[in-house]
Structure formats: C-alpha cells, structure tokens
Structure 1
C-alpha cells in the first residue's frame, strides 16, 4: 500500500495559542536545564555499568542511571518515605519548571492551573520491593499501606498538585514510550479548549530495577555492549544492537499565550501542533514502513500550519534498535516525498539513553533549547550509517551544528503501536 497517498483531515478551527514558559529536568546528563543542555550539545554520555543492583546475571548490564541520587535537598523526609522514585523525580523536575516560569500562583485561581503528567511504568521499584518481601517472608502478608499510593502511575500528577495547590485538571497519561508526548499534547489541547490557563506537564520514569531491566533484557531490546557502554547507543549505525535504558524526568509549563504575554513571561516557544496515531500492527514492533508515524507527523504539521520543508530540526524517536530506526527513517523520507530538503535530524538518545515514558518531555526540552540557541545537538557513536537508511536524510553526527531553527519537531513511539509527534515554533 502507498501510505504517501493518505492525506490528513484539515482543521479550520481558530483556537488560543499555547506557549512554553518553564522548563525543568532531572537526568543522568544533568540535574538542571543548563547543565543538561551543555552535556547534550557537547555529546557527553552518562552510560555506565548499573550500580543500583547486581546486573551480572542479565544479558545487558549497563544503563544511564542517576548515580548518587539524593532527594533530601529538594524533598522533606515524609514525602521521600511516601513516594516512589518516579514521583520524586517528577516533583523535583516540576519544581524547577514552576520556578523557571516565574508565575505567581497566589494571583491565580487554583482551578485555572492543572497537571497532566506521564509515566509508562509507575512505581516499579516499590512494587518489586513489596512483592519480594511477601514471597520471602513468613507467609503472613505485611504489605505497606503505602504500596498502592506509591505504585500507581497517577500519583506523580497528584503529588505535584498537592505540593503546589493546583486544583485544575489533573491526570496521568500512559502510552509506553510515547507517554510524555501524549501528556504535552493533552495539556496543549486542554488549554486551547479553555479548560486551564496553565498546565504543568511532562513525564518521569524510574525503570532501572531488576524486573523492568530484566524484562527488557529478556526481550533482547537493549544493547549488550557491556564492555563499552559509552558507545552502546548508536542510532542509525549499521552496528546498532538495541537501546540503553535511562531514568529521570522532564517538565514543562504550558500556558495560554495571551495570559503569558500579559504577565510578561519569558517564552521558550509555542506548541504549534501535536498528534497521535496507531500502527495497528504489532505488540512491540513498529510498522516496517512507518505508516502510523507518517500520519502522526502529517497531522501535527497540518495543525501547526507548517509545511514539512519549513521544519528545521527533527528529534526522532531513534532508540538504536535495528527495526525501529529503519521504520522511522522510512516514515520521514515518505513525509519529505523524496525531494530536496534542509531538515536536520539528530538522535539524542545516543547521549541520554532511552527514558521510556519520560523521553518525550526530555526531548521536547532539547528541541526548545536547540531553537533558542540555533544549534542542532549531535548524534554520537554513529560512525557507519546503515545503508538501508534513506540517503535523502540529513543526520547530524559527531558534533553539534549551528543552524537557524524556527520550527522543531519531536517524535516518540511506544509499544502497542503508539505514535506521538509534537511541533514547536519560535515566538
């Protein structure tokens, strides 16, 4: 079937504009946005052998983890005790973004501020710990009363609202590795529909646990370059052999444009369009020709009122898996129609690893910083391009490249066939 012949439905409704006024990040590549961006643009990986547990029995033994993680400067003892790592990461990143936005909550109606957060797995660490204690115990169930509140994925959005008193729309999205792009898209749409003035959005993930790590390892989805973790994530390279698991959180404050302008907010960019589709193909594999991905990108661009040839930078999903990288690049080539273009791609999971449900939020921050600085960060470790990658694509490898970036796009795809694309514009 020629997927290039499928055109998106046109949207002709005039809706309020939505902008980004705050950013926050907690990742192995940096615990502040400035440090994170410096490491990304300079291609500094944080991948290394796992230290949180003994990985020696697994096929893959490395990842990108928050080493020496200490929440005590940011969270009080009771909050730490009552929350899983994925919620702690969410709270820390959200605090940064809220502070960065500079808005005065006391002047706001609390029902005008919401939280839409994403996590693909929720409190996996808590779940494992409690089940292990039960199995290894004396036969009497002694589950913690905090098991369910710590484990359920929606607790991240709930705790952000409780911490800050935001009483507007509040929920959590789950669409595997497309999760936080979905959260951003939902926040964008709820503001446009007049349901909120400001929404804190993003995603967090704490998947480096024996069960989560072991499960992905058993699927042979992760790289097994145990002797060379720093060079393991190599999107588009002929020798790529899987993704590198990472953890952390990314947070963005989305705000109705007129509201942001009225209060004199600093604006990082505009969320101009966003869309989701399904591959309807396979539980874990992407559609070989990227059929759903093509349509997601088209719909997002159409909503943004942008021609694909006006997009300056695309941060692809590009996890460094043999199948996934090929299907996505075929989708991008289909979108471009085989014509000359100036679109620059860089796969920053080569630097960060794959944050699963938090990937979209972290990569949205990268796209926004790239626009602000007119710099495309590099795809590192890609030294021998897979000959099956369409030759029409311009992939930035090795080192960052200066380029005028007025429009940026970010793709994330998830198990189950979820495709999510967000388009950003300079304001």
Structure 2
C-alpha cells in the first residue's frame, strides 16, 4: 500500500536570509540576494565576475567555533539548514535506526580542497591538516547532519550537479515508501562563492556579466538574459510518513507525492534543446504522484537565466502540459537567490512547499521584457493561489544531463 509522505519541517541559509523564515519573507518582499563580492581574492585573481549570491548570515554567527573549524562551508550550510528544519518539525523523538539523512551537493568541499593544496605547495605535507579529507568529502554534509541529529538509518549523498538536491528529495520519498526509515532529512548545500567556480563558469560564458547592476543580473526568461548568477547556501526538508507525523501531533506543511529522475545523454553541459529528458522526468514524477498534468497549478522552475537553458526548459514543459502551461503560475526564484548549484533544488522545493502551505506563489524579479518565444504565466508579484487541493512541482536540471522533479500537494 502506498504511504502518504508529508513535510513537517523546513530550514535554510541562503542569500536572502540566515533562516528559511527570513529567506521566504525577503523573497516575498522582492529582495535580491545578489551583491558585490568584496573578498580580496577577487582582485588577486583578477576575476572577470565580482558578484554573486553570498549567504546573508555568516556561519560563525550560527555555529560554534569548533564546528566552523572542522567543517567545510558546504557542510556548515547543510548543518545550519538541517538544524532549523529539525527544530521547525518539533525536534521529534525518533528511534535513531529509523532516522535517515539523504543529502546532496554539486561540488562538495572545494574550499578545503584548494586551501589544502595551497598549504601543500607553500608549506609542505606536514602542514596539511589531518581533517582535510573528512572536510573535503562530498558526503561531509550528510555525515555532519547525521552525527549532529543522531540519524543511524543511513547518511546518503547525491552528486548530480544542479539536480542533486531535488534527486535527494525524490530519494527520500522512496526511502519512506520502502520502510527504510520513519523520518528523513533531505536537501542540499553548496559553498560555491569561491574563485575557482567563478573563474571556470565565467570562462565557459555561463555567468551573467551584468557588472553594472548585480541585483538585476539574473533575469529568467527575459529577452536580455545573459547567464546565471552563482549562489551559495543550503536548504532542508523534514519528511515522514503521515502516520508517524499524526501520531506525534506534528504540523504538516504539504504532502510529497513523488519524484522523477532522467538523463539526457546529450551533452556534458548543454541541455537537450527539445527538452526530451526533462519532459520525461516531469512525466515520471507526475505518474508516481498519481496526478495529471492538468492538476498542476504552480511550478517553481529551474530557470537559470541562460539563453539556451530557459528555452529548453520551456520546451520540456510544453511537451508535458500543452496549452495548460499558460494556466500555471510559474515562479523563477533564482532571480532572487542566484543559482545554488547542488543546493538549488532544495531551496526551490522548500519555496514550493511554502507556496502551497500559504497559498502564495512567490515573485520573479528582474524579468521585464519576456522573450517572445516564451508564453507562460510568470508570477512577478506575490500571488494568491486557489482554494482547495493545489499541486505544485519543482524542477531541476544539471550538467551531465541530470534531470530531477518533485511533486507536492497542499493539505
């Protein structure tokens, strides 16, 4: 028998706020989390792009000194988000062997890796910190969360580029359906405001070069869009079976109906221009959810603000939804947060859950001249959604042709 899976906790640290509560409030206020990067390494490396979505509240304001010393920033952001989500869920009592973490990252501990390499070159092998390997491992965030909260059913890690954390949430659904756990914390984190990703993405002409006005640089679907804006942070959802949630009197935000994953097998960085793989992921997610395309009322779109990617995603959605796509309230929240890479799907899934719970679709900022090839209902100011059951989806697509989609329903 299929179990009902529900969301009982949400947490985040992002360019919009140090908590999910603040991130959501500032998203609805149409704030931009994109700012000039003032670190001295911007000038030192002569980086061509000097702005991004930096976390609004630094980790040392939220974690102990020991935690910031022993965890890479990618793990720090994950731990902050997971702890907020866990507290938001009521810090439930659960048998540790029935509590699982499924976490994601796109890059992992890049700060630790590059700092250690600098130490090796400049000071020799004896000065490389003994905690280097545990700190740089992509599974570091999952391990830190599981140890902090006492999850012993597993500490899984997904690395699927920008689709990573959406895939983790889809995995969480499967874990709970199979009975692997009673509660799963799922999400993702990334610490990518770093000179190497900035230089590399700029070299491949993937980033916006709108240096005169960083706050408006991310322009999903706009005719003037010229690339994405790099962001950082993390987000977490607490997921559990409805039976378990009701038994402990938990508040329920929304129901997770299912997820879908596919691959393009097309190109290492470019999406399939026809959106075939992405469309399959959406169809798979809707099939697992047991809903039709016409049931969907809200989409938090991947919408990175790249000339090619935005069009490919729309083609995929048109394949699935047809004329109904014009009736769906679509939000493109990377305009406010930047692109959190492996953490993007998690924060956008969290925004989707909150949208359904509050019946408010969040706004898309900066889009003022819609591309003529794109005919959608883009939400540009907070919008009230309909009464009754509402279905919403969150979509994520990443380098390597990774596609992941999750489906939620209001309660």
- What TM-score, normalized by structure 1, do the two folds share? 0.92
2:397 aligned residue (381, 401, 413): 413
Aligned to 1:46: 33
- Counterpart CA distance in 2 for 1:419 and 1:51 is 34
Deviation per residue, 1:103-136 (Å, 9 max, x gap): 432xx22100011111111110111111112223
Secondary structure of the 2:79 match is helix
Secondary structure of the 1:23 match is strand
1:99 counterpart = 2:97: no
2:252 aligned residue (257, 267, 287): 267
Deviation per residue, 1:29-50 (Å, 9 max, x gap): 0112221111111210021111
- Counterpart CA distance in 2 for 1:257 and 1:53 is 50
Equivalent residues in 2 for 1:244-283, closer than 5 Å: 244-283=229-268
- Counterpart CA distance in 2 for 1:207 and 1:228 is 21
- Counterpart CA distance in 2 for 1:91 and 1:333 is 38
Deviation per residue, 1:194-250 (Å, 9 max, x gap): 010001111110011111211111111110111100110000001100000111110
Aligned to 2:379: 396
Name the one with the larger helix percent.
2
Equivalent residues in 2 for 1:15-414, closer than 5 Å: 15-56=2-43, 57-67=46-56, 69-72=58-61, 74-105=62-93, 108-137=94-123, 140=125, 142-338=127-323, 341-389=326-374, 391=375, 393-397=376-380, 399-404=381-386, 406-414=390-398
Residue-pair matches, total: 407
Q: Return closer, same or farther for 1:144/1:280 CA change in 2, 3 Å cut-off.
A: same
Is contact 1:243–1:319 with CA below 8 Å preserved after alignment?
yes
- Counterpart CA distance in 2 for 1:222 and 1:197 is 41
- What TM-score, normalized by structure 2, do the two folds share? 0.96
Is contact 1:103–1:265 with CA below 8 Å preserved after alignment?
no
Deviates more, 1:312-321 or 1:366-375: 366-375
Secondary structure of the 1:55 match is helix
- Counterpart CA distance in 1 for 2:354 and 2:206 is 30
Deviates more, 1:117-126 or 1:54-63: 54-63
Deviation per residue, 1:360-385 (Å, 9 max, x gap): 11001111111112111111111111
Is contact 2:16–2:56 with CA below 8 Å preserved after alignment?
no
Q: Return closer, same or farther for 1:132/1:104 CA change in 2, 3 Å cut-off.
A: same
Is contact 1:275–1:297 with CA below 8 Å preserved after alignment?
yes
Secondary structure of the 1:117 match is strand
- Counterpart CA distance in 2 for 1:277 and 1:70 is 34
Secondary structure of the 2:283 match is helix
Moved beyond 3 Å, runs of 4+: 338-341
- Counterpart CA distance in 2 for 1:182 and 1:68 is 27
Secondary structure of the 2:395 match is strand
Is contact 2:294–2:324 with CA below 8 Å preserved after alignment?
no
- Counterpart CA distance in 1 for 2:258 and 2:385 is 22
Aligned to 1:8: none
Long gaps (5+) in structure 1: 1-13
Secondary structure of the 2:323 match is coil
